[in-house]
Amino acid sequence: MRPYRVLSIDGGGIRGIYSAVLLDGLAKRIADANGAPTERLDVGKAFDLVVGTSTGALLSTALASGVALEDVIKLYKEQATRIFSNPTPPSNLRMKFYKWIGGCLGKPANSSDALQEALLSVWGNETVAEMYQRRGISLCIPSINAETHQAWVWKTPHDTRENRLQRDNNYRLVDVCMSSAAAPLILPIHGVEKPKDAARHVNWFVDGGLWANNPIMVALVEALSFAPEDAPIEIISVSTCPPFKAPRVDSTSCNRGLMGWSGGIGMMEMALDSQSGAYDYMAKALSTSLAGRVKYVRLSDPPVSTEIASELRMDNPSEKNISALVGLAHQAIDLNISEATTGDKSKALCAQVFSNLQAVAG
């Protein structure tokens, strides 16, 4: 039986350009090796289910809806400074950092207008159900209901067996992405008017990265729930190359206040990074126990130097940071291609998944 194929993409703000360049480069290298065209590949068509959180939600929705990764990369490069117009300054620039914290006491650092404008230019008012009917690719996007403090996973209506999963049908793709990307302190809580509700009730959402920055467990559970019973499951997971950047802790630095936690951003980064590693470990353990059915691979990331790590803040839109992320992605392309061709059977899965891609329609 044909494998049920899944792509899972982490969150990480502007670092999503790393994931986009990595996936685009891998697909093009494999297409070129097969003598196929390499421009504007429809990478989303390689998968039955795409799952992504925060910036990974933007990427996943783009792939599921048939947007070429070249266009996503262009959006990151051209819109980053507008979306993150007031980025977190490095904590060693104390006066700038104090000023930034002061400016965020009563509001988030950035407006969400630029992000919404950029996403509207891609999807307009297309809804979840309209995209699924057009493409037939399942999509899951983790978020949080800010009023109930409960996880909310946006889903396409892909439960054809019982005709469930209808809750999100009439929500716009733009609002789905903004709900998952509403990082506290950085962007506002995102309000979405409930479709076809006479009372015009508004649901409020916060970044899904707070509980599923690496959404691999969402992807695995969804695949086990909805893949055809006899179908093998193949899952590829992609990070946003989070650098090891934790400062040394000693008897002095353990007494951290607002400054020591980078105005709260440091706590969020610690939570995002730690769960990404933990969920990867759990996914590997579960896929090993389900080895007769599940193949799981987490794409390898290159080592990140201390100098570059200091730049890779999730809201840093500088040309230097974007250039560093693109460079790291090209290193990752070489690394994963090399592993796939030198005996790593799990990485060879990428060559199989991306072997028959066509160009994006139109």
Question: So which residues are the catalytic ones?
Answer: 54, 207
Write down the residue that tokens 């266009």 correspond to.
Answer: 71
H or E element at residue 296 = strand 294-298
Q: Is 51 helix (H, G, I), strand (E, B) or coil?
A: strand
| The one-letter amino acid at 335 | L
337 phi, psi to nearest 5 deg:
-65, -40
Q: Do 53 and 209 meet the contact criterion of CB atoms below 8 Å apart?
A: yes
Q: What is the dihedral of CA 125, 127, 131, 133, to 10 degrees?
A: -130
Residue 88: count other Cβ atoms within 10 Å of its Cβ: 24
Six token digits for residue 92: 């060693």
- Rounded alpha-carbon distances, angstroms, from residue 337 to 9, 47, 330, 343: 19, 19, 11, 11
Determine the Cα angle at 49 with ends 135 and 118, to 5°.
Answer: 65
292 phi, psi to nearest 5 deg:
-70, -15
Six token digits for residue 64: 């599921």
Long-range contacts of 354-358 (CB under 8 A, 24+ apart): 354/26, 354/27, 354/30, 354/31, 354/43, 354/46, 355/30, 355/34, 356/36, 356/46, 357/27, 357/31, 357/36, 357/41, 357/42, 357/43, 357/45, 357/46, 358/41, 358/42, 358/45
Kindly give, in sequence order, each residue whose CB lies less than 8 Å from that of residue 92, ignoring residues fewer than 6 positions away: none
Write down the residue that tokens 């055809």 correspond to.
Answer: 228
Q: Do 299 and 332 meet the contact criterion of CB atoms below 8 Å apart?
A: yes
